Amino acid sequence: MNSFFSPSRAGPKPWPNRKKQTNKSAICLCSVSLLAVLFLSVFFITYSEIPKSIFSISSAFSGSVEFPQCRSEVLSRALLGQSFLLYAPHSGFSNQLSEFKNAVLMAMVLNRTLVVPPVLDHHAVALGSCPKFRVLSPSEVRVSVWNHSVELLRSGRYVSMGDVVDISSLVSSSAVRVIDFRYFASLLCGVDLETLCSGELAEQSQAYESLRQCGYLLSGVRGNVDGCLYGVDDDCRTTVWTYRNGGSDGRLDSFQADEKLKKKKKIAYVRRRRDVYKALGRGSEAESAAVLAFGSLFTAPYKGSELYIDIKKSSGVPEVKSLIEKVEFLPFVREVMSAGKRFATGTIKAPFLCAQLRLLDGQFKNHQESTFTGLNQKLESLSLKNPGPVHVFVMTDLPESNWSGTYLGDLARNSTKFKLHFLREEDEVIVRTEKELASAAHGQKFGSIPMSLDSIKKMQKHCSPQKVSNVQLYVEEAVCSCASLGFVGTAGSTIAESVEMMRKFNACSS
């Protein structure tokens, strides 16, 4: 995949050969001197013909030359005086959904319009490990997400988080202001929506160059730009964001790198709890920036603390408490839930157990035996209560062709006691749902900046995806929410946590 830009590191130059003859060195030195004199002569002769602003130190750092998008008149006209919150999701869909919920909270606390991102390909962007203090920097994550987002647009596979997850309750209640990433990029980068969404982003084109400049700007690789961009460079290695959490601002967090890890990895990071509003809200350096750009917004409980965001303890603040309750569970859009219900009632046609078995990815590869043990215990218990075969819906990353020699293979052969059901990417219910999601384009319906009729027509005509990824995963989770005999998930899997949340809120019967 081609990238607009990537950090480059030049290696050290080799030392010159000190054994060269003196006269050759003198000739070389004279040649260089003559070239230098010639260059300076041309420079001073032509200096008066070059606009003086290009050589101004202030303009070089203000971004007015390097980033024309940051000129005050451009920002005012394009963004209508609103301020925005951008972040860089990563990893699998469940992680991305978790980050989206955190982004909603951050946007509300900081009174910014949230830029709703696309759903990235599974692990197209990886963060690293917060517990091991080994992660990409925020600017590196932003670079990767920007490049991948543009690639999704160019390949006709761009799907907004709002196309898949129902955010209507958040927007209708004015709990948070949102804008679709495509419309935001079109406004800020000056790229027509038709060009942005139609895959006509040819390299060397003006549109491509405008997006490249925007990528540099919004990633923050060249630093902040006054009044335009403030890149948040504090990540999980140094910071746990809080909000109105007593007098904890600036205090050390309870989780720190242990001495063994410090010595082994030469880690010098110190984690502090910081109030996000004091650091980035009203009265802060970040307040005047039109765009506040975070890196990852993923967090999780860890050793008595949180890896990065600990705002839920601020539930004493009424508006925060209300929003926390709203974002705790964000359902799939109706097309996904309807597909899951159809498969449960029309194909399985019986009470069933859902088994979510993550067996190949990361840490789960080495725990297949313990994962199968939990499923076996549940099935043996159900077999004693049910005279006929127990129906089991299986969602797993282990291909069916590799079931032989595993517990799944044993279950599939034991058809008198168990009847297994599963989905394939080519199944009619998946293909149909993919078409429905592409047609519905729910993410285009929400936005806090009014769109012109022309922009609306261009979004509808050109920005619907040619292909929607991850549909099988969405429908599988919907099916599992309808499993009346229970659910067995893989310990530590965010997919299992997502299904548990759906079941807790009775998503199947809603």
Distance between CA atoms of 339 and 335, rounded to whole angstroms? 6
Q: Check residue 63 and give its pLDDT.
A: 39
- Average pLDDT value over all residues in the chain: 85
Pairing of strands 134-135, 128-129: antiparallel
pLDDT at 51 over 50: no
Would you tell me how many other CB atoms lie within 10 Å of the CB of residue 438? 18
Q: How far is C-alpha 19 from the geometric centre of its chain's CA atoms?
A: 56
154-159 mean pLDDT: 93
pLDDT at 357 over 80: yes
Q: How far is C-alpha 336 from the geometric centre of its chain's CA atoms?
A: 21
198-224 mean pLDDT: 84
Q: Rounded to the nearest 10 degrees, what angle do helices 453-462 and 181-189 cross at?
A: 120
384-394 mean pLDDT: 91
Q: Which band of pLDDT confidence, cut at 50, 70 and 90, is reported for residue 61?
A: very low
Burial of 209 (0-12, 13-18, 19+ CB in 10 A): middle
Q: Check residue 210 and give its pLDDT.
A: 87
pLDDT at 7 over 50: no
More confident residue, 193 or 5: 193
- In words, the CATH class of domain 334-509 is alpha beta
Side-chain-side CA neighbours of residue 500 (13 Å):
10
pLDDT at 48 over 90: no
Domain ranges of the chain: 68-328, 334-509
What is the full DSSP assignment across 41-81? HHHHHHHTTS-GGGG-HHHHHHSTTT-GGGSHHHHHHHHTT
Distance between CA atoms of 351 and 354, rounded to whole angstroms? 10
pLDDT at 395 over 90: yes
Of 21-25, 67-71, 247-251, the one with minimum mean pLDDT is 21-25
Side-chain-side CA neighbours of residue 459 (13 Å):
24
Q: Check residue 160 and give its pLDDT.
A: 97
pLDDT at 382 over 80: yes
| Residues 358-379: tens digit of each pLDDT | 988 767 777 778 889 999 999 9
pLDDT at 58 over 50: no
Would you tell me how many other CB atoms lie within 10 Å of the CB of residue 406? 17
129-150 mean pLDDT: 95
| Residues 457-474: tens digit of each pLDDT | 888 888 999 999 999 999
Percent of the chain at pLDDT exceeding 90: 60
| Residues 331-341: tens digit of each pLDDT | 999 999 999 99
Cβ pair 213, 69 in contact under 8 A: yes
Q: Check residue 45 and give its pLDDT.
A: 35
pLDDT at 426 over 60: yes
Composition of the chain by helix, strand, coil, percent to 5:
45, 10, 40
Angle at 483 between CA 481 and CA 487, to 5 degrees: 85
117-137 mean pLDDT: 94
pLDDT at 221 over 80: yes
Q: Check residue 261 and give its pLDDT.
A: 87
pLDDT at 78 over 70: no
pLDDT at 35 over 70: no
Cβ within 8 Å of residue 266, ≥6 positions away: none
Distance between CA atoms of 61 and 223, rounded to whole angstroms? 9
Q: Check residue 17 and give its pLDDT.
A: 42
Task: Give the tokens for residue 497.
Answer: 């946590």
Most confident of the ranges 55-64, 96-105, 182-191: 96-105
